[in-house]
Structures are given as structure tokens and as C-alpha cells.
Amino acid sequence: MKKKLLFFSILLYFSLSFFINTEDFEKDILTIKNKDIPLRGNLKLDLKEKTIIDSSKKSNEYDIYFIRDMVLDSEENIVILTYDNILKFNKEGRLLKKFKIKLGQGPGEFQHNPSRIFSDNLNNLYVFDGFKIVVFNKDLLFKKNIKIVLLPGYSLCIDKRGFLYTIQSEYLKLQIKKVLVKFNKDGNPVKKITFFDDPEARIGGGITLFISHPYSPRAYYCLNSNRYLIYGHNLEYKLFKYDLDGNLLSTFIVDEKPQKISSKEKNEIENKHGKIKVSNIKLNLKFPSHRPFFKGILSDEKGRIYVVRMKSILDKNKYEIIDIFSKDGLYLYQTKLPCFPKIIRNGSIYFIHKETNEKGEEIYKIKKLIIKNYDSIKTF
């Protein structure tokens, strides 16, 4: 039996070494260097689409005319944020709870129209209100306010102990840096985990701000199995794995050459975004040295990591390219999805879908793609 196990281990090592370079232990940090070819090749997902919530149906009862954001709790209940309400549905789309959003400064009231919603493993809801986060319990009853400002485009992660993680700005001399910060339950900073340059905002002889666009450099992060934090900056295909105390455990890299941004791509972005000037503040477009590698990072309940690749904006095909990694950083698969995934859990992919009906009205839907071959996807 021992000989069989030894033989299998040796065989697995040489099989993996074809796709993965040797591991480095620089300063006791494990680095996995993946080839640009996934270990198990391309993966075709067997998908079945199901609409859970449809704004064109029962809109007067639910008051759903626009969906800003959504989350999924531990019981697979769906909570959505609209203009006027926070609505909680079961996994079949039956309304369970409704909270009417009120403007004001009292408990559970908002000073601005809330724009983002998040949840923790206890199904508490964290609703961003411009200059604070309003926390509700699973029954949509107000708990407290947390004074944390979320920067545009960046997420909020809440771990099993109630600590919060998000990106903040830090002003250093004539440059603005971004920093991934860990906060305690009361919103007090506990640890600065990692820094990166912010090329979209620099100070010098007045303030010059750069307009965000699809190729803007950006960091992405998510919780992994509620035990780790996965982080990456999209100008390099390198992901970092931290424990929940902010200690770096390992990194994993895909050995892929960067793609230059063509003049056609730049013209497409310039025509769409243009140049804006507000008072004495100039707003300009700025392009990185190459196209970013990805535009999103997610994780499922099995610890697999999903990286949403950045396609050329000239590619008009309505699909997303997804790289799938094991929890230890092995590049396992590449697959395609007909949508940008919002949540991947228990064999389903949840997303917000917007369409226009024959009257020109916008219709919002919460859909899920059931992955019929989910259990056959390897985790190593």
C-alpha cells in the first residue's frame, strides 16, 4: 500500500511539474508559478438558467424598478437593494422581509441613497450610505452604524469574527496610495495589509484626477473559505493569500505575457468616456502600460478561486472568460460564462441581469445558472 501511495505521489508531482514551475520559498513565503495553460484544460459547464426575481412581475407589490445590488445569505436567501427598499426573498423568490429606506439621521435611516450591500456569516447586512455603513440583522432590524467610507468600485469583506476589509486612500507627499485595511467591528483600523500606487489621482501644482475606465488599474479581493483573504492587483497576474490577521501566507502566479493596449482600444475608450473639466480640476484619461489581466476575483464554498479575465473592449461577444484555481493556487481550468458572476455557491452562479422590453422600459432580474456538472469540477 505504501509503495502504491509513493508511486502515485511521484506520478502526480511530475504531472503537475509540466504545468507548474518550481515553488519558491523566498522569506518563507510559498510561491506557486503556474504555466499559462490550465492544468486540466478548458472546462465546459453544463448550465441551466433560472430566473428568481423579475421586476416586470408584481412590481407594484415589491416596488422593484431598479436593482442596485444583491447578496446571498448562508441559507441561500436573496437580499436585494433597490431605490426605496431592502427586500429579502427565499431561494425560490418568495418575499420574506421588506425594509423601507428612509432618509434622515435616526437609527436605521440613511443620509444618502444607499448603493452597496454586503453580508457576513451571521446574515447581518451591511448597507453603504455614502459616509457610513448601516448594519441590520437578518430580520432587517437596525443594529448600528459603522463610520467607514467605501471607495467607488471597491468591495467590503466581513470575516467570521466581524472584522471588515476594504481599500482606503492614503496621502503620501504628492501621491495618493491605496491600502487594503482591516477594521474591527466598530470601524477602527486594525492593520494595513498591503499598499499599491493609485495612478488615477496625483497631486502637484493643483489636483489632476484621471477618469476611471475599463482598463484602469485596480485591486480585487475576496474571502476564501472564511479563513483566508485573496488579493490581487490586475496589472500583474499574481494573487496573494493572507490569513485573517493580515499575514501573507503564499502567492500564486500565472506566467503570461502582458498584452499591449492598441490604438483602436484607446480610441474606443476615448470616444466613450471623453475628457471632462470641472472648475479648475482636470479630468483626463490615463492608460496603463498594458491591458490589465483581470477584473474580478471570487471564491466558492469549496475554496476554489475564480478570476474573471479582462477581455479586449473590442471583443463584443457576450461572455466572460474565467480562470479557476484550487484553494492552494493551482491553475486548474479555464471556462466561459454568459454573464459576469456576482456570487458562486453550492453549484449555482448568481447575477443581476438588465434588459429592455418592447416599450423601452428597463427590466431587472436576479438569475442563477445551475451548474449541473458542478460536482465533477476538481478542487486540486
Residue 280: pLDDT band (50, 70, 90) is: low
Identify which of 323, 355, 324, 350 has the alpha carbon closest to the alpha carbon of residue 339. Answer: 350
Predicted TM-score (pTM) of this structure: 0.89
How far CA 339 is from CA of 85, 146, 285, in Å, comes to: 25, 33, 27
CA dihedral 332, 76, 224, 166 (to 10 degrees): 130
Residue 256 and residue 293 in contact, taking contact as beta carbons nearer than 8 Å: yes
Give pLDDT, residue 66. Answer: 87
pLDDT digits (tens, 9 = 90+) for 158-198: 999 999 999 998 887 667 889 999 999 999 999 999 998 87
Strands 125-128 and 133-136, sheet pairing:
antiparallel
* Per-residue model confidence (pLDDT) at position 13: 39
- The stretch 58-78 carries a mean pLDDT of 83
- Structure confidence at residue 112 as a pLDDT band (50, 70, 90): confident
336 has pLDDT over 90: yes
Q: Are strands 248-254 and 29-34 parallel, antiparallel or unpaired?
A: parallel
What type of residue sits at position 100?
K
186/176 Cα distance (integer angstroms): 26
Please tell me which residue, 312 or 21, carries the higher pLDDT value.
312
The residue to which cell 476611471 is assigned: 212
The pLDDT of residue 203: 47
C-alpha cell at 236: 500583474
Nearest to 63 by CA among 91, 92, 86, 94: 86
Mean pLDDT of 356-374: 92
Whether 223 and 300 have beta carbons less than 8 Å apart is answered as: no
Give the pLDDT score at 10.
Answer: 37
Q: Is the pLDDT score of 61 beyond 90? A: no
Residue 13 host element (H or E): helix 2-17
- Domains belonging to the chain, first-starting first, are 2-376 (2.120.10.30)
- Residue 315 amino acid letter: D
Residue type, 230: I
Q: Give the pLDDT of residue 281.
A: 58
The mean pLDDT value for 129-145 works out to 95
28 vs 89, higher pLDDT: 89
Model pLDDT, residue 273: 75
Query: Of the given ranges (24-28, 53-57, 132-136, 249-253), which has the lowest mean pLDDT?
Result: 24-28
- pLDDT, residue 50, reads 96
Q: What is the mean pLDDT of the chain?
A: 87
Q: How far apart are CA 336 and CA 321, in angstroms?
A: 5
Residue 374: its pLDDT value, please? Answer: 95
In this predicted structure, what is the pLDDT of residue 153? 87
Phi, psi of 126, rounded to the nearest 5 degrees = -120, 110
C-alpha 325: how far from its chain's center? 15
The partner residues of 355 in beta bridges, in order of sequence, read: 363
* Tens digits of residue pLDDT in 7-56: 433 344 334 444 444 444 446 789 999 999 999 999 999 999 999 998 88
Residue 370 has pLDDT above 90, yes or no: yes
